[in-house]
Amino acid sequence: VLAAEWNKDAFGAKSVSDALKSMGASAPVDSKDISIKAPDIAENGAVVPVEITSKIAGTTSIAIMAEKNANPLVANFNLSNGAEGYVSTRIKMGQTSLVRAVVKAGGKTYTAAKEVKVTIGGCGG
């Protein structure tokens, strides 16, 4: 199957709002049915595990953004044929920032965010 063309504008966008616009997902609604599992403090900013679960019925896509990255959009997953509202991956974060999930379901767009701290490290009890 040939994938849809890579969304150059969305991945090249320098802000969350520009990325959302390019994805056709402006003004998403905050949702408590999206949960983001990510560390409070990243063990390594280059490898931050992020797991998104959407309990919104009919979830068809999940996008991940790291708000303070030069290009906030990290990935967009289209789900079909039984794929659950769930993706797990590892992302790069340049600095402490909100990690945002953007979910499309039933033609509407929903969102949730969680802060992940990126630290220099080296201390101890």
For residue 107, what are the contacts with CB-CB under 8 A and spacing of at least 6? none
Stretch that binds Mn ion, among 37-45, 56-64, 73-81, 117-125 (CB under 5 A): 117-125
**Binding of another protein by 57 (CB under 8 A):** no
Q: Which two tokens stand for residue 67?
A: 């708000």
Cα separation of 102 and 87, whole Å?
A: 12
Min dist CB 74 to another protein, Å, is 4
- The verdict on 32 binding another protein (CB under 8 A) reads no
* Residue 125 binds another protein, judged by CB under 8 A: yes
* Shortest Cβ 86–another protein spacing (Å): 5
Minimal distance, residue 65 CB to another protein, in Å: 9
Tally of CB atoms within 10 A around 114: 17
**Residue among 6, 29, 32, 57 that touches another protein (CB under 8 A):** 6
Select from another protein, Mn ion, none the partner in contact with residue 105, using the beta carbon and a kind-dependent cut-off of 5 to 8 Å: none
Query: ∠ CA(22), CA(28), CA(33), 5° rounding?
Result: 130
Nearest Cα residue to 93 out of 76, 62, 71: 71
